[in-house]
Amino acid sequence: MSNFDALRAPAAHATVSLDSLRRSGKRHARLKGRQSDELSVQEVRALIGVRPEGGHRRDLLIEHLHRLNDHYRGLHDRHLVALAQEMNLPMAEVYEVASFYHHFEILREGQSAPALTVRVCEGLSCEMQGARTLLEKLPAVLGAEVRVIAAPCIGRCEQAPAALVAQQAVPWASLESIAQVCGGGVPLTPALSPEGRGSNSGPGSARARGGNSGPDSTQGKGGHAGPLDLLPLPLGEGRGEGPVVDFAQYQAQGGYALARRIVSGELAAEDVIGALEDSGLRGLGGAGFPAGRKWRIVREQAAPRLMAVNIDEGEPGTFKDRTYLERDPHRFLEGMLIAAHVVGTEACYIYLRDEYHDCRALLQAELAKLQADPPFALPRIELRRGAGAYICGEESAMIESIEGKRGEPRMRPPYIAQVGLFGRPTLEHNFETLYWVRDIVERGPQWFTGFGANGRRGLRSFSVSGRVRHPGVKLAPAGITLRQLVADRCGGMADGHELYAYLPGGASGGILPASMADIALDFDTLQPYGCFIGSAAVIVLSQHDRARDAALNMMRFFEHESCGQCTPCRVGTAKAAQLMAQPVWDADTLRDLSEVMVDASICGLGQAAPNPLRSVLAHFPHEVGAQA
Ligand SMILES: Cc1cc2nc3c(=O)[nH]c(=O)nc-3n(C[C@H](O)[C@H](O)[C@H](O)COP(=O)(O)O)c2cc1C
Ligand code: SF4
Ligand code: FES
């Protein structure tokens, strides 16, 4: 998957072809025996520091690569050689890690880095809002100095089309706004928005044409819209004047009092686990494993234990973790610290996707405040930065990545609860799972189970994007139907659009027709229809869209993001994407391929990749000339 972005790049600096990849393989062999030069060593030391007494930590390799990549806008061969020497690692190891991640740009001798890289999201929601046009027209507008490449979902689907200029997000991107940011200007921010807040005004909406509007992610009130405003939440009064509840505000509103009670022993760990179990809280990263049970399992393993927090949020259509993190970071941090204490983990590693640059700055700042004035003794907390690889959201791949390696999923058993990060029993959680811990324990599990619809219990944060009037994070009762979600929480369909189909669970969760819009949306309710809710990323399609186009977009995404370890996934996604591009689908071959991928792939990516195509064959055969 390395350098794939460059392979797809339409612009002037698209430098890597298949031939050059082969050449780089040979060059790699040459690099093996290459000696570092003094200048490169000094340059590397200036960024990563001089070698400490016991040597550099191996697990910090990706962090060090980031420093070089940020500073030189790429990774020069000579720096990789020097880094390998400084870290006392084989050159092959450094190179294989650097070449795995999309955001690392390996530069050959004499090759210069593009002055600026613009990544335009080509995920489904952005594609529906004009991303293709941006990708076609931007190179001419921005000139040869700027490299324009397509990128998978960047977690801003409610702001589609979205782009990144270097690391700066450009929501509701237009040719003008991207050019403005490239020129050093400030993008039109939601606060400067001249028009309606976050509404999709119709086919080829104002945004796609360049209009800019602010987030209405949540139908909130006044100027501080946020998912929390939807609820009889949050604990504490108000959310303050600023858009973020910072450390001082959070504490002033009673924050960290619960964690203090638990750490002091006033509230027993067993009671905390009991509350989680009674609430029925399930993992919100997609797999839905019961949180309380997971805490119990990891707690029973031998110490030392570790925790890993998953804020990779790479599932196309998902942006709930970012939305909450941007507004209320300490609610999550308190949940994490409670989990660390109850399960007895000695360190917490937070893995945040690279695309969330502002969130990283925010989290660093808020962590610094917390650590400077801790409400109780804190465990070691390390913030780690992803490097552009969807597969690193898979729990064992994430662990490999935190260890500074290629993000390749591990075979199980052993499960990471037993043998995880650095070989230790590891509690891994999605951001949002931890975000709810405080409220559930403080308010009692009945508070959480008191929500629910159509026979289901609890709350779900739906990331809704696509053809609805008000896309955004919609906190709603578990079991709400798509029809209710769109009508009650999203202001209905966008003007000129009628419901045609929807994806209930991002790229992996399949596609359902409008006739199935009355199914309760929750864990376990969608399996009979060949779908699942996953991270509750709902993408809504209208009569202007086709399910087959959505499925092809998803299959190309999986092809791009397959780590390549297993043949059924690596070859199957590529082959399926080719077949799905044909006007009439070869349904038999696609069904065979799907079966092999489901049966023989190591991890959930390969196992779930066929879901969208299977859905098209089951529910939309008329689109592809196939028999249902
Ligand atoms: C291909 C793939 C990608 C995943 N991406 C994410 C992700 O971005 N964020 C996340 O929290 N979980 C993701 N998961 C689920 C994790 O493997 C894991 O189940 C989760 O982090 C556990 O936390 P939870 O129990 O709190 O949900 C992914 C799984 C797969 C198979
Ligand atoms: S299924 Fe795909 S992503 Fe998962 S390990 Fe195999 S090749 Fe990698
Ligand atoms: S940000 Fe473009 S599809 Fe998610």
Structure tokens at 75: 């990774």
| The CATH homologous superfamily of the domain defined by 116-183 | Glutaredoxin (3.40.30.10)
The closest-lying atom of ligand 1 relative to the alpha carbon of residue 282 is 25
Q: Do the beta carbons of residue 425 and residue 301 sit within 8 Å?
A: yes
Contact 526 CB / ligand 3 (< 6 Å): no
Q: Which atom of ligand 2 is the closest one to the Cα of 597? A: 1
pLDDT of residue 187: 57
How far apart are the CA of 151 and the centre of ligand 3, in A? 9
Taking a C-beta distance cutoff of 8 angstroms, is the pair 506, 315 a contact? yes
* Residue 456 clears pLDDT 80, i.e. is over it: yes
Residue 123 CB less than 6 A away from ligand 3? yes
Largest CA distance in the chain: 68
Residues 6+ apart with CB under 8 A from 169: 154, 156, 162, 163, 355, 357, 358
Give the mutation target among 298, 395, 408, 532 for probing the ligand 1 site: most ligand atoms within 8 A of CB. Answer: 395
Q: Which residues line ligand 1 (CB under 6 A)?
A: 283-287, 289, 310, 312-315, 391, 393-395, 428-430, 433, 603-605
Nearest alpha-carbon partner for 367 in 248, 247, 260: 247
Q: What are phi and psi of 501, to 5 degrees?
A: -165, 170
Of all ligands present, the nearest one to the C-alpha of 293 is 1
- The whole-number pLDDT of residue 177 equals 97
3-state secondary structure of 566: coil
pLDDT at 568 over 70: yes
Cα 394 to ligand 2 centroid, rounded to whole Å: 10
Ligand 1 geometric centre to CA of 123 (Å):
19
Report the pocket of ligand 2 as residue ranges, CB < 6 Å: 391, 409, 562-566, 569-570, 601-603, 605-606
Least distant ligand from the CA of 407: 2
Lowest mean pLDDT among 12-26, 270-284, 425-439: 12-26
- Ligand 3 contact via 156 beta carbon (within 6 Å): yes
CA of 68 to the centre of ligand 3 (A): 28
pLDDT, residue 34, reads: 80
* pLDDT average, residue stretch 488-493: 96
* Pairing label, strands 305-311, 168-170: unpaired
Instruction: Give the model confidence (pLDDT) of 130-152 as tens digits.
Output: 999 999 999 999 999 999 999 99
Angle at 80 between CA 77 and CA 86, to 5 degrees: 145
Q: Do domains 450-545 and 548-624 have the same CATH topology?
A: no
Q: Is the pLDDT of residue 176 over 60?
A: yes
Q: What is the pLDDT of residue 200?
A: 61
Evaluate if residue 468 carries a pLDDT over 70. yes
Query: Which residues is 380 bridged to in the sheet?
Result: 347
Once rounded to an integer, what is the mean pLDDT over residues 326-350? 97
**pLDDT score for 171:** 97
Which residue, judged by its Cα, is nearest atom 1 of ligand 2? 606
The response to whether residue 126 sits with its C-beta less than 6 Å from ligand 3 reads: yes
245 CA → ligand 1 middle, Å: 26
**pLDDT tens profile 503-540:** 999 999 999 999 999 999 999 999 999 999 999 999 99
From the CA of 132, how far away is ligand 3's center (Å)?
Answer: 13
What CATH code is assigned to 247-443?
3.40.50.11540
**Residue-averaged pLDDT of the chain:** 89
How far apart, in whole angstroms, are the C-alpha atoms of residue 137 and residue 141?
A: 7
Report the pLDDT value the prediction gives residue 24, as an integer from 0 to 100. Answer: 52
598 confidence band (pLDDT: 50, 70, 90): very high
Pocket test for ligand 1, best of 394, 427, 508 (most atoms within 8 A of CB): 394
CA of 604 to the centre of ligand 2 (A): 8
Alpha-carbon distances of 473 from 239, 263, 447, 489, 538, rounded to whole Å: 18, 32, 21, 9, 10
Question: Quick one: which atom of ligand 2 is closest to the CA of 607?
Answer: 1
- Ligand 1 atom at minimal distance to the Cα of residue 397: 17
DSSP letters for 296-313:
HHHHTSPSSEEEEEEE--
Indicate the pLDDT class of residue 428, thresholds 50, 70 and 90: very high
Please state the φ and ψ torsions of residue 615, each to the nearest 5 degrees. -65, -40
Q: Whose CA is nearest to atom 22 of ligand 1?
A: 429
> What distance in Å separates the CA atoms of residue 105 and residue 73, rounded to the nearest whole number?
8
Rounded distance from Cα 153 to ligand 3 centre (Å): 4
Check residue 110 and give its pLDDT.
86
Per-residue pLDDT, averaged over 60-88, amounts to: 97
Instruction: Name the token pair of 298.
Output: 């990891």
DSSP structure string for 597-628:
HHHH-SSHHHHHTTHHHHHHHHH-HHHHT---
CATH number for the segment(s) 450-545: 3.10.20.600
Q: What is the pLDDT of residues 187-230, one digit of tens each?
A: 554 433 323 335 564 333 433 333 322 223 333 333 333 334 44
382-395 pLDDT, tens digit per residue, is 999 999 999 999 99
* Cα distances (angstroms) measured from residue 290 to each of 277, 435, 473, 533: 7, 15, 23, 15
For residue 478, the CA-to-ligand 2 centroid distance in Å is 31
Backbone angles phi, psi at 67, to 5 degrees: -60, -45
Q: Which of ligand 3's atoms lies nearest the C-alpha of 121?
A: 2
- Rounded CA separation 172/472 (Å): 13
Mean pLDDT of 566-573: 97
First CA to last CA distance, the chain: 34
Which residue in 372, 381, 318, 378 sits closest to 351, CA to CA? Answer: 381
DSSP bridge partners of 117? 147
Pocket test of ligand 1: the residue of 319, 336, 430, 598 to mutate, having most ligand atoms within 8 Å of its CB, is 430
Helices 547-561 and 611-619, axial angle in degrees (round to 10): 160
Just give the CATH number of 548-624. 1.20.1440.230
CA dihedral 618, 586, 505, 604 (to 10 degrees): 120
User: What percentage of residues in the chain have a pLDDT greater than 70?
Assistant: 85
Taking the CA of residue 319 as reference, the ligand 3 atom at the shortest distance is 4
Q: How sure is the predictor about 33, in pLDDT bands with cuts at 50, 70 and 90? A: low
- pLDDT value for 243: 78
Domain boundaries, the chain: 4-107, 116-183, 247-443, 450-545, 548-624
Buried-state track 243-266, b at ≥16 Cβ within 10 A, e below 16? ebbbbebbbebebbbbbebbbeee
CA of 389 to the centre of ligand 2 (A): 12
**What atom in ligand 3 is closest to the CA of residue 317?**
4
- Indicate the range of 4-8, 37-41, 75-79 predicted with least confidence: 4-8
Q: Ligand 3 centre and the CA of 156: distance in Å?
A: 5
Whole-number Å distance, alpha carbon 281 to ligand 2 midpoint, is 28
Choose the weakest-confidence range: 208-212, 393-397, 468-472, 544-548: 208-212
pLDDT at 184 (0 to 100): 83
Residue 231 binned pLDDT confidence (cut-offs 50, 70, 90): very low
